Chain A
Amino acid sequence: MRKFSIQALDTIFAKIAADEKLYLPVDGENGSNYKLWEPGVQMSDALNTVRSAKDFFFPQTENLIEFKVTGKQIDIIDVRNENEDFVVFGVRACDVRSFDILDRVFLSEPIDSYYANRRAHSVIISMACTRPAETCFCGTFDIDAANPAGDITCWKTQDSIYMRANTDKGEKLLAKLDGLTEECDDSAVSAQQDKTRRIMERLPLANLSAEKFGGGKTNEFFNSPAWKELSQACLGCGTCTFVCPTCQCYDIKDYDTGNGVIRFRCWDSCMYSDFTKMAHGNSRNSQVERFRQRFMHKLVYYPENNEGIFGCVGCGRCLAKCPISMNIVKVMKKLGEE
């Protein structure tokens, strides 16, 4: 384990940013969000960013291909250029897990090269939590907020930052910082971890259990009468989906610019009325069905296809942002009652 004084933070950032783009959470008027580091930019102490970290690998809009159309002829132009190295600093444990969840979708055959290349060119530096919020429930999905994964894990104490490399990529980056950091034992980190874990036990959602859910439970929950009640106030907006670090459904659309066609991909939401609309009909006609799809996907379908891993990381963003305060916690509690 390596450590450095908090005063040296800017020097460390400058060192990293000298070679690669460095992104980190920065406070703004509407909470913190990831921004590019430049001299003078202060790292936010907020628990989590408003938008999730999935944007780095799966941006809201990205161009896939371009077409040049001349008469009856089509030329396909490959516009992929996801080859820039970058470092993301200060990712929380929940968001780090979300990368694993997205990986299982985008890196399964056939590999999504846009996502894969961005992943390959990134180094993730995570930051352990010390002050979780009431909306946190990462423990429900066996995530340890005091010991996040990532290429490098950081712990921030009053005066120092501790770093531990978890992967080769992390080792390499840490080696670059050798002159600026010093070797240390993990006693300070352990003490902080114990403290955080004790707080985690006291969280209002600490006892929320996902045990009742998982693969193979489709028929148990699909026809539950509870869906109707749970979804009755749902507006059908996409807020939950778009702030969610694990929601990965997308739409592919064409845009005719007048001098070519751009085929782009953008986030889509299963909550939208046109998500499954085809020329001849719609397989999910009412909001009840669309609402059910989102939660069944996270709690049943995803684990069924991915060795029991749930499609939720308990970051609490949807709890904070849903216009009508309906969320996965309320869904799990209500369905779990039965």
Chain B
Amino acid sequence: MSINSEYKPKIVAFCCNWCSYAGADLAGSNRLAYPENVKIIRVPCSCRVNPMFILRAFQRGADGVILCGCHPGDCHYTSGNYYTRRRMALLFSMLEYLGIEKERTRVEWVSAAEGAKFAATMNDFTQTVAALGENKRLEDLRCKR
């Protein structure tokens, strides 16, 4: 597929149940537009996201993966997102070390009240990933046939 104006990257967004998923919901009910190619996966807490989930998303054809959780300090489980923050810092740094564009991964804290931030984040992330084009460095060719 050539990169043209119609190219729409596949984005996987892991959203925590308590804040970011509700934020996405709010964005929806406020009719704030964000790209339809953002696929949301609801997780109980952002720290439920195992590094394997992120790699798996890329394997299955995601061009960008974003992880959204409660703001630090606001975790429903008190401290889950603090662990997320450390894990993802290390994982994303490792992916960059392996030569995978760092713009393809992002963590964003979105509260239940931040519908507008959710939509803006998704718009921005989608644009950033679209500029990079298809994910070629962490793909599984078997899934591309």
A and B touch in the complex (CB under 8 A): yes
The interface residues of chain B lying within 8 Å CB-to-CB of A260 are 145
Least distance between A256 CB and chain B CB atoms (Å): 9
Does chain A have a CB within 8 A of B142?
yes
Chain B, residues 42-63, CB within 8 Å of chain A (1/0): the string is 0000000000000000001100
Q: Report 11 cross-chain contacts, Cβ distance below 8 Å, ordered by A residue.
A: A255-B142, A257-B140, A257-B142, A257-B143, A257-B145, A258-B60, A258-B61, A258-B143, A259-B143, A260-B145, A262-B142
Least distance between B29 CB and chain A CB atoms (Å): 31
Chain A, residues 258-294, CB within 8 Å of chain B (1/0): the string is 1110100000000000000000000000000000000
How far is A257 from B60 in the complex, measured between Cα atoms in Å?
8
Main SS at interface, chain B: loop
Interface residues on A, range: under 10
Please give me the residue from chain A that is nearest to B141 by CB atom.
Answer: A257
Chain B, residues 104-145, CB within 8 Å of chain A (1/0): the string is 000000000000000000000000000000000000101101
How far is A203 from B102 in the complex, measured between Cα atoms in Å?
55
The interface residues of chain B lying within 8 Å CB-to-CB of A259 are 143, 145
How far is A259 from B140 in the complex, measured between Cα atoms in Å?
13
Number of interface residues of B (CB under 8 A): 6
> Considering the complex of A and B, which 7 residue pairs feature the smallest CB-CB distances, nearest first?
A257-B143, A257-B142, A258-B143, A262-B142, A255-B142, A258-B60, A257-B145
Interface residues of B in 47-102 (CB under 8 A from A): 60-61
How far is A260 from B142 in the complex, measured between Cα atoms in Å?
10
The interface residues of chain B lying within 8 Å CB-to-CB of A257 are 140, 142-143, 145
How far is A150 from B143 in the complex, measured between Cα atoms in Å?
39
Least distance between B135 CB and chain A CB atoms (Å): 15
Please give me the residue from chain B that is nearest to A63 by CB atom.
Answer: B142
Least distance between B12 CB and chain A CB atoms (Å): 13
How far is A286 from B145 in the complex, measured between Cα atoms in Å?
41
A-B contact sample (10 more), CB < 8 A, given A257-B143, A258-B60: A255-B142, A257-B140, A257-B142, A257-B145, A258-B61, A258-B143, A259-B143, A259-B145, A260-B145, A262-B142
Please give me the residue from chain A that is nearest to B140 by CB atom.
Answer: A257
How far is A255 from B60 in the complex, measured between Cα atoms in Å?
12
A interface vs B, CB < 8 Å?
A: 255, 257-260, 262
Looking at B60, B140, B142, B143, the one whose CB has the most chain A CB atoms below 10 A away is B142
How far is A260 from B145 in the complex, measured between Cα atoms in Å?
9
Least distance between A112 CB and chain B CB atoms (Å): 23
How far is A37 from B73 in the complex, measured between Cα atoms in Å?
60
Interface residues of B in 16-46 (CB under 8 A from A): none
The interface residues of chain A lying within 8 Å CB-to-CB of B143 are 257-259
Please give me the residue from chain A that is nearest to B142 by CB atom.
Answer: A257
Least distance between B142 CB and chain A CB atoms (Å): 5
How far is A255 from B145 in the complex, measured between Cα atoms in Å?
13
How far is A107 from B145 in the complex, measured between Cα atoms in Å?
32
How far is A255 from B59 in the complex, measured between Cα atoms in Å?
12
The interface residues of chain B lying within 8 Å CB-to-CB of A255 are 142
Least distance between A64 CB and chain B CB atoms (Å): 13
Least distance between A262 CB and chain B CB atoms (Å): 6
Please give me the residue from chain A that is nearest to B144 by CB atom.
Answer: A257
The interface residues of chain A lying within 8 Å CB-to-CB of B61 are 258
The interface residues of chain B lying within 8 Å CB-to-CB of A262 are 142
The interface residues of chain A lying within 8 Å CB-to-CB of B140 are 257
How far is A257 from B141 in the complex, measured between Cα atoms in Å?
9
Least distance between B60 CB and chain A CB atoms (Å): 6
Please give me the residue from chain B that is nearest to A255 by CB atom.
Answer: B142
Least distance between A62 CB and chain B CB atoms (Å): 13
Least distance between B138 CB and chain A CB atoms (Å): 16
How far is A258 from B141 in the complex, measured between Cα atoms in Å?
12
Please give me the residue from chain A that is nearest to B60 by CB atom.
Answer: A258
Least distance between A80 CB and chain B CB atoms (Å): 17
How far is A164 from B142 in the complex, measured between Cα atoms in Å?
43
How far is A135 from B22 in the complex, measured between Cα atoms in Å?
65
Please give me the residue from chain B that is nearest to A264 by CB atom.
Answer: B142
Least distance between B124 CB and chain A CB atoms (Å): 28
Least distance between B126 CB and chain A CB atoms (Å): 21
The interface residues of chain B lying within 8 Å CB-to-CB of A258 are 60-61, 143
Least distance between A41 CB and chain B CB atoms (Å): 26
How far is A260 from B140 in the complex, measured between Cα atoms in Å?
14
Least distance between A258 CB and chain B CB atoms (Å): 6
Looking at B60, B61, B140, B143, the one whose CB has the most chain A CB atoms below 10 A away is B143
